[in-house]
């Protein structure tokens, strides 16, 4: 079967890695460390996928710009103290390997830092399957389309050949801004209702269904 989407771009947190709860907890604990009001779970979950500075400015609006470095340090301390406990969503590792074997060009576009993504790729063992990656400290943060533009240039892919897979409205809006189709997954950070409002090609509710959909439609 001819590939409809030869190039598949995945978000990381909340799409490949089951990390949304740990990110929310890290933001809340870092806020507490700085004596600031803790954001609600909903507000903290909303910023998952953004670059860290953009995320913190929304999640913790009381944070003074001069305190960003300290907030980032405390967030990373709390997140990294438990990231060894995090796991990939069930079946995702096998799905990525299968898509690579089928000949798809695979990429990652993430709000993580380069250091954070490289650490995650090495720890998960998935790094061998991805042909290109972009991080928030290398490009404009989502929903700016810069990550996708750079990935398409690197992989030699036209917008019509690319599918962006993500769990947040930031991912879907980035895809729309780049003229790329988007596939939503509702098992990550943002609720299904918000994802559907961005008109993805489909909204997938479980990791098993994601594998089935991609193998049938990509």
Please report, for the chain, the start and end positions of each structural domain, with discontinuous segments joined by +: 7-18+87-217, 20-84
Would you state the structure tokens that stand for residue 36, as one six-digit string? Answer: 């600031």
Which among 13, 18, 54, 171 is annotated as catalytic?
13
167 is catalytic: no
Q: What is the pLDDT of residue 164?
A: 98
CATH of domain 7-18+87-217: 3.40.50.1000
8 Å CB contact between 27 and 46:
no
Q: What is the pLDDT of residue 55?
A: 87
CA neighbours closer than 13 Å in the CB half-sphere of residue 195: 22
Q: What is the pLDDT of residue 112?
A: 93
Q: What is the pLDDT of residue 1?
A: 41
Tell me the C-alpha distance between 83 and 175, whole Å. 28
CB burial string 24-35: b at 16+ within 10 A, e below: bebbbbbbeeee
Q: 20-84 belongs to which CATH class?
A: mainly alpha
**Structural Rg of the chain based on CA atoms:** 17
Nearest to 135 by CA among 159, 156, 115, 109: 109
Tell me the C-alpha distance between 9 and 108, whole Å. 5
Indicate the pTM of the whole model.
0.94
Would you state the structure tokens that stand for residue 79, as one six-digit string? Answer: 């997140």
Nearest to 78 by CA among 33, 41, 137, 128: 33
- Tell me, yes or no, if the two domains 7-18+87-217 and 20-84 fold the same way: no
Q: What is the pLDDT of residue 85?
A: 84
Q: What is the pLDDT of residue 197?
A: 98
Provide the 8-state DSSP code for 189.
S
| Host H or E run for residue 181 | strand 181-185
The C-alpha torsion from 38 through 42 and 43 to 46, rounded to 10°, is: 140
Cis geometry, peptide bond prior to residue 143 (ω within 30 degrees of 0):
yes
Collapse the DSSP code of 107 into the 3-class scheme (helix H, G, I; strand E, B; otherwise coil) and give the result: strand
Across the beta sheet with 132-135, the strand order is: 132-135, 105-110, 7-10, 162-166, 181-185, 202-204
pLDDT along the chain (218 residues), means of 10: 83 96 94 95 92 86 91 92 89 97 97 93 96 95 97 97 98 98 97 97 98 95
13 is catalytic: yes
């Amino acid at each position: 079967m001819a590939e409809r989407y030869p190039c598949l771009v995945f978000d990381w947190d909340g799409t490949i890695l089951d990390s949304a709860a740990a990110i929310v907890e890290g933001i809340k604990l870092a806020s507490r460390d700085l004596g600031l009001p803790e954001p609600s779970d909903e507000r903290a979950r909303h910023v998952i996928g953004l670059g860290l500075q953009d995320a913190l400015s929304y999640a913790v609006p009381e944070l003074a710009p001069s305190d960003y470095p300290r907030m980032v340090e405390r967030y990373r301390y709390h997140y990294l103290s438990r990231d060894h406990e995090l796991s990939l969503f069930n079946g995702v590792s096998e799905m990525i390997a299968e898509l690579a074997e089928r000949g798809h060009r695979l990429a990652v576009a993430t709000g993580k830092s380069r250091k954070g993504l490289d650490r995650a790729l090495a720890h998960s063992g998935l790094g061998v399957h991805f042909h290109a990656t972009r991080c928030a400290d290398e490009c404009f943060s989502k929903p700016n389309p810069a990550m996708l533009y750079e990935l398409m240039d690197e992989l030699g892919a036209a917008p019509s050949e690319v599918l962006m897979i993500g769990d947040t409205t930031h991912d879907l809006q980035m895809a729309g801004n780049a003229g790329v189709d988007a596939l939503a997954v509702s098992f990550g950070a943002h609720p299904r209702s918000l994802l559907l409002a961005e008109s993805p090609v489909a909204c997938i509710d479980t990791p098993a269904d994601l594998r089935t959909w991609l193998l049938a439609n990509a």
